[in-house]
Chains A and B, each alone.
Chain A
C-alpha cells in the first residue's frame, strides 16, 4: 500500500514528528480508518526516501500514543478503537492524580478547590489547542 504522505524539507521539526503528525491527521480525518493497514516501515521509508530508523521511531511513538498497533511480523494497522489509550497512560494519570491530591492537601485546599484547579488546567489545554488550529 503506497502512502500519500508528503513531508517538507524546510519544516524545522524532526522528521519523525512530521511523520507522526501526518499519520495522526489521516486518522483524524478518517482517510485511514480504524483497523486499516498502514504501510510497513520499510515501505514508507522507501516512499518518503527517509531512513528506516526514523520511520521506526515514528511508529513506536504512535503505538505508545495508541494511534496504531503493530502486530509481530504482520505489519501495522490503525488502532481499532482510537478512544482506547494504552494502559501506560492510565497508570500515569493515576500517579499524577495521587500527586495532585497530596499537594492539594499540603496546601490545605478542599477537594472542590482541587477539582476546580483541575478544570482550569483542562480549560487551558483546550484553549491552547484552539489557538494552534487558528494559527
Chain B
C-alpha cells in the first residue's frame, strides 16, 4: 500500500471540510466550557451538547467526503490516481476516524476528569466508558455502510440504527446490576462484566472495519 498517497488523500479530504471541522472544534470547546462552569445543570446540558456535536461531525464528514465523491462526480478523478480500492478505503476510514477519534477522546477524557473530580458520581466511570466506545462502534458502522453502499439513504439508515443502538445499549447496560450498583457511589470500580462488554465492542469495531475492507476488495464496479 502506498502510504504517501493515502496521506495526500486524507489531507485533501480534510482540506475540503476544514470549515465543518473548525466549527465542530469551536462548538466542542464551548460545550466543555458549559460543562465545567455550568454547575449541575450545566453538566448534563454540556454533555448532551458534546455528544450531539460528536454525532453531527461524524455524520457531516462521512457524508461529505465519502458520499460527496460520488455526488460531486469527483470519484472518477480520485480513482484515476495511481491507487486501488485499498488506498481509497484506507484513506476514507482513517481520514474520518482521525477527525472523530481525537474529538471523541477529548470528550471522553473531559467526562472522566469530571467524574473523578466530583466524588458523588465516581461510579459512572464504567458506564461512561462503555457508552463512549459504543458511540465509536456506531460511527464505524456508518463509515463502513457509506463506503460500501455510496448511498445517502443507506448511510442515513446506518446513522439511525447507530443512534437507536446507542439508546438501546444505554438502557440495557444501565440495567445491569453489576454496573449500576455503584453509580452514585464514591468508589470507582471496574469488573469483569465491564471488561467483557468492552471486549465485545472492540471486536465489533474490528469486524465492521475488516468487513468494510473485505467487501470493498470484492467490488467489481468502482464507478
Report A-B touching, CB under 8 Å.
no
